[in-house]
Amino acid sequence: MAKTRTAYFCQSCGHESAKWLGKCPSCSQWNTFVEEIIEKGNVSIPDWKNGSTSTQRSNKPAAIHDIIYSEENRLITPDNELNRVLGGGIVSGSMVLIGGEPGIGKSTLMLQVALNLPGLKVLYISGEESEQQIKMRAERLVKVPDKESSNVPGVADTYILTETSTQNIFKQIEILEPDLVVVDSIQTLYSAHIESTPGSVSQVRECTAELLRFAKESGTPVFLIGHITKDGMIAGPKILEHMVDTVLQFEGDRHHVYRILRAVKNRFGSASELGIYEMLGSGLREVSNPSEILLSQRDEPLSGITISVILEGLRPMLIETQALVSVSAYGTPQRSGTGFDTKRMNMLLAVLEKKCGFKLSTQDVFLNIAGGLRVEDPAIDLAVVVAIISSHEDMPVDSKVCFAAEVGLSGEIRAVNRIEQRIAEAEKLGFEKIFISKYNLPAGKKVQDGQNWKKYKIEINTVAKVEEVFNALFG
């Protein structure tokens, strides 16, 4: 029997200490250390490839030119939004962690994916709900057939297991041999090798390590659903996010129907992709064209509203920027931005006052990105500036005009990347005019070749200064 050892773990970051500390030296949080009993014996590690067990595995170093590389084998799901966020599909042997607010739809998303994978055996492990609760949700998502007529692809190959012990889970995995494993949630599992409560730092770390070993040795992808803290961070030790291959964040307001699946970390693709869903009574519906839901339909022109073309990963979309400028009723003017960095908004206001002569130091300025998105693409700068001036002068901007350019500190219009992709998206949605930087050139063109945008039907206005935009729009 191995000797029992006691250690103290920070519940915020997972830092381990031999004694109790008032302040964590890693994350600087106070009163977060909890004592946990750790007991590990000589545990045999299962070898998932040949079904045997071995207490010691040895790997030999290999020269890099001797390593045979092949494209990773990806599982393409019927959910195109999930495929995009994962980088093209589910990679064999990968481990994906999904976090989000309670009730946002994490379990619904994963159960919907499990029920719609034809020809693949999926094991859905739940430590939070009973089999009847999961069956009730499945009936809402798809029409689950009776046992006698169970011929619906995907549904017939989905198995539900309500278990929290990892030892019992691995026994059922060995019997079933699934092609995909979903765990809901990692904070409810516990391993008999650790004498601490489920959800503690050591239990979460040990259970994740066991599942990670299974995924890498068997080549079976594993999805983990994780809780989040009140600050929006994934609960448990920070090492949990380092251990997995992909971390996805499921965002959205429960009072609105739209949900955003965002990649925070991805070893097999871009970490800046996002997928958009609409929450319906029958489950999550993919939104293939997000520009249509992010642009409001209005009958008459309104001041303070502009359209910009942004990129989220490789995906272009048009969003609506709303600005409101009014006289400050207090001594200090208010600056508020929803979905946009307030510090950057203050910088753009300083440019308008210093370089363009607009007196905004005594004005309240409120900025909102419609649709609940948070935008970090600098190509939205020009649309923000025009929306602020449109509200300040109470002069509307044509709804068929859009913008895609960055604004510098001296008032110059700076070029942005992938401009042709942005122009094509604006043209596809029926816009008639787009303002871009004078220094944006078509792909493959040199400076001396000039700017050749004749292949587009949309009118392209190239500008170098903010004043040129104001003259073209407001005269």
Residue list, annotated binding site: 100-107
- Token readout for 474 is 């407001």
Residues belonging to the binding site for ATP are: 100-107
Chain centroid to CA 369: 18
Counting other chains too, the contacts that 418-423 makes at CB distance below 8 Å and 24 or more residues apart are 418/311, 418/316, 421/311, 421/316, 422/309, 422/311, 422/316, 422/379, 423/309, 423/453, 423/456, 423/458, 423/460
- Token readout for 222 is 């594993």
Tell me the residue type at 85: V
Closest C-alpha among 310, 245, 262 to residue 85? 262
CA angle 87, 89, 90 (to 5 degrees): 110
- 292 membership: H or E segment, kind and range: helix 290-294
Spatial distance between the Cα atoms of 337 and 381, rounded to a whole number of angstroms: 13
Taking each helix axis from N to C end, the angle separating 381-393 and 342-355, rounded to the nearest 10 degrees, works out to 60
Please say whether the beta carbons of 307 and 431 come within 8 A.
yes
Phi then psi dihedrals of residue 435, to 5 deg? -100, 125
